[in-house]
Amino acid sequence: MRVGVVTFPGSLDDVDARRAVSIGGNEAVALWHGDEDLKGVDAVVLPGGFSYGDYLRCGAISRFAPVMTSVIEAAGKGMPVLGICNGFQILCESHLLPGALIRNDHRRFVCVDQRLRMERVDTPWTSAYAPGQEVTIVLKNGEGGFVADEHTLDLLEGEGRVVARYLDGNPNGSLRDIAGISNERGNVVGLMPHPEHAVEDLTGPGTDGLGFFTSLVEHAFAGASA
Amino acid sequence: MARVVVDVMPKPEILDPQGKAVLGALPRLGFDLVTDVRQGKRFELQVDGEITDAVLARIEEVAGTLLSNPVIEDFEVHVEEHSVAEVAQGAGR
C-alpha cells in the first residue's frame, strides 16, 4: 500500500515514520501540509513533533492546514489515518477523534520505554497484534494527558474503541490510562506513544512498534480475500 | 478601529497544570493570600469598522473554532476600548 506521511512546519518524526512505513512493507509517500493533494495514497500518517511550534494549542493550527481538508474528507470515506503524538493531537483538534490532550499532570516532559496493553486489534493499524498483547513502545511527550468527559470515556470503553492502555503506572495523567483511541469504524487511530521509534533493534527498545505498519498489509489482504 | 477581546479559560473540571505550577511558586515568594490559580489566554482582536451583532457573532465563531477548544476550554467575548498595553501605559506602569 502507498502510505502518505504529512510534514507540517515543526514536524519531527516524519522521516522516522516514512522509514517505519517502508520497513513495514509499504511504500512511503511524503505529503506537504500546504498541499491538498494526497497523491493517491491508500492511508495517511500524521507524525509526531511540534507543528506550528505548538502555538495556541497543540495541533490547533495544523488542523486548518490545506492537507487536513483532504485528510478529514478521506477519513470520512474510510481511509486509514494514524496520528502519532502530535498527530493524535491534530486528530482530536479536527474532531476526527473525541477528547483532547493536555499538559502532563506532573508538568515534566516524559521520555521512556513504555509498557502498553493492546486492546482494539481489529483496525487497519493494529490487526498484527493479539488482543491483550503487551508491548514496549517509546513514549515522549509534554502534553500527552488524554482527557474527555465521563460520558465520552464510557462510550469509548463501551464500544471497545480504546486501542492501547498504559501499563506499570500512568506516565502523563491520561484518564483511565488511555494511550490510544479509534473512531467508531476503526480506520482513524490516535496514539500518544511512538511506534515508528520501535521498529529496529539498533535504534529502539525493540520492534514492538512494527505491527502498526505491517497491519496495513495484513488488512489489505484480509479485505481482498473477504 | 474597534477592539474585541476573547478570554479563554480551561474548564473548571479540567486539570490546569500551569495554574498549579504558578500557585506552587507563590508561597515561596511570600504571597500567601492566593488560594487557587487558573491560567488562561486573552486575545485582543482588532476589527475593521463598527462592531455590530453580526460581527460579534462571527467573532464567537472564531473563538469557538480556533481560539478555544470546546472540549477543554470555555470562552467569553466582549468589546473593550483599551488594550492591556494602553491601560498599563495610562496607569504609568
Cell numbers for A89, please give them. 493531537
**Cell for A188?**
482513524
Residue A138 DSSP SS3: strand
| Residue B54 belongs to domain with CATH number | 3.30.1280.10
pLDDT at A140 over 80: yes
Chain A residues with CB under 8 Å of B72 CB are 100, 102, 147
Does the pLDDT at position A78 exceed 70?
Answer: yes
Query: How far, in Å, CA of A84 to CA of A52, rounded?
Result: 16
* C-alpha span between A40 and A81 (Å, rounded): 14
* Widest distance between CA atoms in chain A: 48
Q: Which ipTM score applies to this complex?
A: 0.87
- State the alpha helices, DSSP H only, in chain A: 14-23, 66-76, 86-93, 150-158, 211-225
Please judge whether A100 and B67 are an interchain contact, meaning their C-beta atoms are less than 8 angstroms apart: no
Across chain A, what does the average pLDDT equal?
Answer: 96
Domains of chain A: 2-225 (3.40.50.880)
Domain region containing B54 = 2-90
How much of chain A, in percent, has pLDDT values that exceed 90?
Answer: 94
**Closest-approach residue (CA) in chain A for B14:** A147
| Closest C-alpha among A99, A100, A32 to residue A70 | A32
Q: Which comes out higher in pLDDT, residue A76 or A219?
A: A76
Active site residue A194: yes
What's the gap in Å between the CA of B4 and the closest CA on chain A?
Answer: 18
**Average pLDDT for A164-174:** 97
Told to judge if A197 belongs to the known catalytic residues of this protein, a careful annotator would answer no
Based on the structure, what is the number of domains in chain B?
Answer: 1
Over range A131-151, report the average pLDDT: 97
For residue A223, name the pLDDT band (cuts at 50, 70, 90): low
A105 CA: distance to closest CA in chain B (Å): 6
For the CA atoms of A194, A141, A50, B66, the dihedral, rounded to the nearest 10 degrees, stands at 110
Provide, as residue numbers in chain B, all residues whose Cβ is less than 8 Å from the Cβ of A173.
Answer: 15
pLDDT digits (tens, 9 = 90+) for A13-62: 999 999 999 999 999 999 999 999 999 999 999 999 999 999 999 999 99
pLDDT band at A226 (very low <50, low <70, confident <90, very high): very low
pLDDT in tens, B3-53: 999 999 999 999 999 999 999 999 999 998 999 999 999 999 999 889 999
- A86 touches A48 (CB < 8 A): yes
DSSP characters for A141-199?
Answer: ESS-EEE--HHHHHHHHHTT-EEEEE-SS-SS--GGGEEEEE-SSSSEEEESSBGGGSS
* Amino acid identity at A138: V
